[in-house]
Amino acid sequence: MRYYIADMHFFHESLNEQMDNRGFASLEEMHQYMIKQWNKKVRRGDDVVILGDFSMGKGAQTNEILQQLNGAKYLIEGNHDKYLNDRKFDKTLFRWIKPYEELKDNKRKIVLSHYPIMFYNGQNRTDSEGNPKAYMLYGHVHNTFDEYLLHNFQEQIRQADRPMAAGTSKSIPCHMINCFCMFSDYTPLSLDEWIENDRQRRAAYKWKIN
């Protein structure tokens, strides 16, 4: 099974009181909970793609966290993954480290980037029943005003009609999913689980200042 998750920010203690307002009493409590949630879901034979900003710690600290997590790990590099430049970091703890990737997941194209891509490769592709054949998975924006803007952008795109030949038009698919760890209670999810998670979250979406 393959799972996805973004922006865990191990060793980023200020997120308990700022921006995310995660609410853990300490850094240690946050780490223990995130590790527990990960290992409750992920088995040794599973794959997990991390969509950036895994850790704010140093190389040796990040090694220790990765060694406690089940499954094979793959990293889409984020802007806060500075431990990658630390000589003490063991890069073999990730199967690969890339800034961008495109994968297949049950015959669907998955575009993977830490940063949201508004017009992603394969966006207009649908199957014979009109279901999307491509999804864009991202992180970076957490649950900030930027995510609110992206939500509104997707709504606009989905309501638009692209002019086609002979005076016809076609609706524009737009399936960008924010895999922010707090949206899944710090649990890596499969693509289908993220699709349902995203559907439910956006149906009741209302941005507010924390």
In this prediction, residues 143-171 reach a mean pLDDT of 83
Predicted local confidence at residue 167, as pLDDT: 67
Domain-located, residue 108: yes
Domain-located, residue 209: no
Domain count for the chain: 1
Q: Does 162 have pLDDT greater than 80?
A: no
Instruction: Name 141's Cβ contacts closer than 8 Å, sequence gap at least 6.
Output: 116, 147, 150, 178, 180
Q: How many CB atoms lie within 10 A of CB 10?
A: 20
Residues 82-94: tens digit of each pLDDT: 999 999 999 999 9
Which carries the bigger pLDDT value, residue 126 or residue 29? 29
Mean pLDDT of the chain: 93
Q: Residue 160 sits in which domain range?
A: 2-203
In this prediction, residues 191-199 reach a mean pLDDT of 97
Predicted local confidence at residue 207, as pLDDT: 66
Residues 21-60: tens digit of each pLDDT: 999 999 999 999 999 999 999 999 999 999 999 999 999 9
Predicted local confidence at residue 125, as pLDDT: 86
CATH number at 167 reads: 3.60.21.10
Domain-located, residue 29: yes
Predicted local confidence at residue 210, as pLDDT: 47
For the record, the structure tokens of 165 come out as 């030949």
For the record, the structure tokens of 126 come out as 């649908």
Domain-located, residue 210: no
Predicted local confidence at residue 200, as pLDDT: 94
Domain-located, residue 68: yes
